[in-house]
Amino acid sequence: KKKKNPNRNPPGPRGLPLVGNLFQFDSSKPIAYLQQLNREYGPLVYLNHASTPTLVISSTKLVKQILKSHDSSFCTRPPVLGQQKLSYDGSDMAFSPYNAHWKDTRKMCVLHLFSPKQVLSFRPIREAQVGRMMEKVSAAAGASKAANMSEIAMSMASNIICGVAFGRTYDDEEYEKKKLDRMVLEAQALMVSFYFSDHFPALGWVDKVSGLLGRLDRNFKEMDGFYQQLIEEHLDPAAPKREREDIIDLMIQLKRQKPESITLDHIKALLMNIFVAGTDTAAAVVVWTMTALMLRPTVMKKTQMQIRQAMGKNKGTIDEDDIGKLPYLKAVVLESLRLYPPAPLLYRTPVNPGYSLDIDGYEIKPGSHLIINGWAIARDPETWENPDEFVPERFLMNDDGGGVKEYVEFEMIPFGGGRRGCPGMGMGLVSVELALANLLYSFDWSLPQSPDAAAAAAVIDCEALPGLTMHKKNPLLLRPAHYLPPSSAIM
């Protein structure tokens, strides 16, 4: 085994005394910052975040070492104050440390909540919400107006999750819905905020004085009240019967079977995960895929042609049974997930704080935090031919379609990997494919006319907002035109 620098850290930028590289990390543009480091120092970069050694990993070869060979040692999350508070101190799955609770919760979710059978049982919710989305787009087309696809995709994804999680959907203008959206957005921002307490425990008071802890507390109480009310409604024997079982019903049944291991806080924390991890990831995939296609008219044409040929002119609405007949669309979604992963950074730290690891000849110190840069990994030139080009064909079995190849594990990681990989992948993918199939089948798309060239360019630029999920910064405003007469295009 080669030992390049047994006693030295991997390469990285010089830091300042005490704070190290902490304040060099540009959290408003994390991907651009990490890409710059990758270019300058290679696929393994060392950063000193106050006293925490932080490693940035940007190649398939290295990510395999972590998520495959050393997964059991690196499947816990670094503790972050905002995430701990909003997850009821790790009573959830996504931010829980790797422990017996996480193992039980993960098993329960995989077996009962996100199983293929359960995902299938939510199919009517997805199809109904995609239908509502199509009505909105159709109204914009009828009025020859631009549709705000960022808002429309978010509303669809959020209504699917509300239906799945607690059996309710909302109108966009409803007060409750606006309140929920605001709370979830605030929670997401608080989860990635910078807390002095995380890096300099002695300066924890700064978080209090700055008002951050107050905001965190208020958001927690608001969200907690919302979950509490939902659970009470589900427990109320006089409540009207719901059409189908939702996640809260399933959790209540599981709690009855195992009252000692499932508490109300566990149910609430898991609801938080489903809102935070399931809503805007799916919306972001729809928006980035439409953006990618608008930037590449030839691929857009080919995708629409393949869908329209496979579905014929009288399909009306594409349903989930049809998706298997659309290999090119599936390849487009995979290529979009490769180049625009909505959650591009994965976070890990050793399960055992004393654990040290040798990566690529460097000894990684105990207690290090790892940032796995999925954005760079999916562009690794050692793995991909023309990595920066959008080529859906790379996922097809052959030139005539003939089926879609699965991507090779760790060559791209849009759903993460190893034990902490996304358990909602099946549910997320099917919603995204159904939405895109319908949008591309029924409408032709163009950019809104704008006298302002900069505003017009922003519509399909690729600037992203910072956060756990990478959203397009400028809303995607597109003009839809009915490809078929409206009566046959809409259910």
Tell me which residues touch ligand HEM (CB under 6 A): 93-94, 106, 273-274, 277-278, 281-282, 285, 342-343, 346, 414-417, 420-424, 427-429, 432
Strands 369-373 and 52-57: parallel
Minimum distance, C-beta of residue 317 to ligand HEM, in the bound complex (Å): 21
Query: What tokens were used for 353?
Result: 């704080």
Minimum distance, C-beta of residue 342 to ligand HEM, in the bound complex (Å): 5
In Å, what is the CA distance from 222 to each residue of 94, 134, 182, 217, 264? 20, 32, 11, 9, 16
Largest CA distance in the chain: 71
Task: Name residue 203's beta-bridge partners.
Answer: none
- Given the complex with ligand HEM, which of 311 and 343 has the nearer CB atom? 343
Contact predicate 323/437, CB 8 Å: yes
Does residue 109 have a known ligand-binding role? no
- Given the complex with ligand HEM, which of 93 and 332 has the nearer CB atom? 93
Gap between the Cα atoms of 20 and 368, Å rounded? 14
- Given the complex with ligand HEM, which of 96 and 304 has the nearer CB atom? 96
In Å, what is the CA distance from 111 to each residue of 262, 297, 431? 15, 42, 20
Phi, psi at 100, each rounded to 5°: -60, -35
Minimum distance, C-beta of residue 414 to ligand HEM, in the bound complex (Å): 5
Minimum distance, C-beta of residue 237 to ligand HEM, in the bound complex (Å): 28
Angle between helices 425-442 and 297-311 (to 10 degrees): 90
- Given the complex with ligand HEM, which of 164 and 213 has the nearer CB atom? 164
Angle between helices 264-295 and 149-166 (to 10 degrees): 150
Gap between the Cα atoms of 9 and 289, Å rounded? 39
Minimum distance, C-beta of residue 168 to ligand HEM, in the bound complex (Å): 16
- Given the complex with ligand HEM, which of 223 and 427 has the nearer CB atom? 427
Conformational region of residue 88, where left means phi above 0, alpha means psi within -120 to 50, and beta covers everything else: left
- Given the complex with ligand HEM, which of 119 and 213 has the nearer CB atom? 119
For 415, residues 6+ apart whose C-beta sits below 8 A from its C-beta are: 421, 422, 425, 428
- Given the complex with ligand HEM, which of 123 and 308 has the nearer CB atom? 123
Minimum distance, C-beta of residue 199 to ligand HEM, in the bound complex (Å): 22
Minimum distance, C-beta of residue 452 to ligand HEM, in the bound complex (Å): 33
Query: What tokens were used for 220?
Result: 């927690």
CB atoms closer than 10 angstroms to residue 455? 12
Contact predicate 336/288, CB 8 Å: yes
Where is the binding site for heme, in residues? 422
Where is the binding site, in residues? 422
